[in-house]
Amino acid sequence: MFRSTLCLALGLLAMDAHCQVAYELVPNWLTPPPGMEYIGNSHGEIAVDSKGNVYVSVEGDKSGIQVYSPDGKYSHNVPGLPGTLHGFVIKNDLIYASVLGQQKVIKTQLDGKVLLEIPKESFPEDKRKKADGSPRGLALTSVDVAPNGDIYVVDGYGEDWIFQFDKDGKFKAVFGGRGAPWNLKNCHKIFIDPRYGEPRILCCDRVNLRLLHLALDGSIIGEHATGLRRPSSASFHGDHVAIAEIDGRVSVIDKDGRTVAQLGQNDTNGEKNTNGVEPAKWRQGICTGPHGITFDAQGNVLMAEWNKWGRVLRWNVKK
């Protein structure tokens, strides 16, 4: 009973009668750029480089990717990046990003120098249309890179196709989609899951409320977790994956698919799964629209919300 009470006090809802992994909120951790009260319209992702610097993608003022020091102070913007980045990862201090507004993928250095671009013309023409054949263009929401350098991209706001390119940006394959056997529905983001003997793809299949594992060739391994609150992003640390659930919660799940921590749960209608919760209505440590998420090297959880004003929450793991 004492441990359950302690979990709640730390802002963590234990799944069982005890707290399996404990975290504590770090209030007001991030300081917005000078002259700004908030960081700006956040509808993207958050990631950490090898030095612990934190990268947050935003739209509007100071758009692109803002960079913060490990203690949460604004440092700079990555020069020259588009203002409509939606999903990105940092691997070996290189940024791989999907540019939603331009429907392309870019690979850059941390200083913004573009090393590779995969334009929309590199995607199969027949997959650049809606299922009924009408023109749509792509709606690329997420990208990650496998250990062999292959780049995987998902059309998460489109028809849920997952595209595979080689390290040089040459198209290799496409799979997934809304039909059988994948039956994806708003596969919002995908990530290369490193927690097993062979790397696999983790799909945040948002409308289906599940995480789905695929082999790197697209074949289905199985559901990793179900009954989630519209999973939107993921990050890995050790045996754990942190999930940003846009319907008002963050969950930490082990490699067997068991939830070991839940953070910031919001059960108030009108204050979750929306980007319109104004700062006056923010509650300390309570989520409104988790959209991007990352572990840092110590296993702390940083989450970027889908919010017009821009909001980042942080929970430190209890040692």
| 166 vs 83: CA distance, rounded Å | 26
Neighbouring CB atoms inside 10 A of 150's CB total 16
Arithmetic mean of pLDDT, 42-64? 94
pLDDT class for 32, splitting at 50, 70, 90?
very high
For residue 192, the model assigns a pLDDT of 98
**For residue 4, pLDDT beyond 50:** no
Model confidence at 290: pLDDT above 50: yes
Task: Return d(Cα 13, Cα 268) in angstroms, integer.
Answer: 16
Does 303 score more than 70 pLDDT? yes
DSSP string, 146-184: -TTS-EEEE-TTTT-EEEEE-TTS-EEEEEE-SSTTT--
Helix H or strand E encompassing 280: none
Residue 318 DSSP label: P
pLDDT on residue 9: 36
Domain boundaries, the chain: 26-317
Q: What is the pLDDT of residue 133?
A: 67
Quickly name the fold that domain 26-317 has: Neuraminidase (2.120.10)
pLDDT beyond 90 at 311 = yes
* CA dihedral (206, 195, 296, 218) positive or negative: negative
| Cβ atoms of 298 and 284 closer than 8 Å | no
In this prediction, residue 175 carries a pLDDT of 98
In the predicted structure, residue 2 carries a pLDDT above the cut 70: no
Q: CA–CA separation, 319 vs 67, rounded Å?
A: 27
Per-residue pLDDT tens digits for 193-245: 999 999 999 999 999 999 999 999 999 999 999 999 999 999 999 999 999 99
71-104 per-position pLDDT tens digit: 999 999 999 999 999 999 999 999 999 999 999 9
Q: How confident is the model at residue 13 (pLDDT cuts 50, 70, 90)?
A: very low
pTM of the predicted model, to two decimals? 0.93
Instruction: Say what the pLDDT of residue 177 is.
Output: 95
**pLDDT interval class at 247 (50, 70, 90):** very high
Q: How confident is residue 17, by pLDDT bands cut at 50, 70 and 90? A: very low
User: Do 39 and 73 form a contact (C-beta atoms < 8 A)?
Assistant: no
Average pLDDT, the chain: 92
Least confident of 2-16, 167-181, 183-197: 2-16
- Residue-level pLDDT at 196: 97
Distance CA 181, CA 285 (A): 39
Q: State mean pLDDT over 158-183.
A: 97
Give me the pLDDT at residue 61, please. 75
Q: What is the mean pLDDT of residues 153-177?
A: 97
Beta bridge partners of 317: 23
Core vs surface per residue 294-310: b (16+ CB within 10 A) or e: bbbeebbbbbbbbbbbb
Residue 140 carries which DSSP code? Answer: -
The answer on pLDDT for 160 being more than 60 is yes
**pLDDT for residue 215:** 98
pLDDT greater than 60 at residue 58: yes
Q: Identify the pLDDT of residue 1.
A: 30
Nearest Cα to Cα of residue 98 among 56, 47, 140, 159: 140
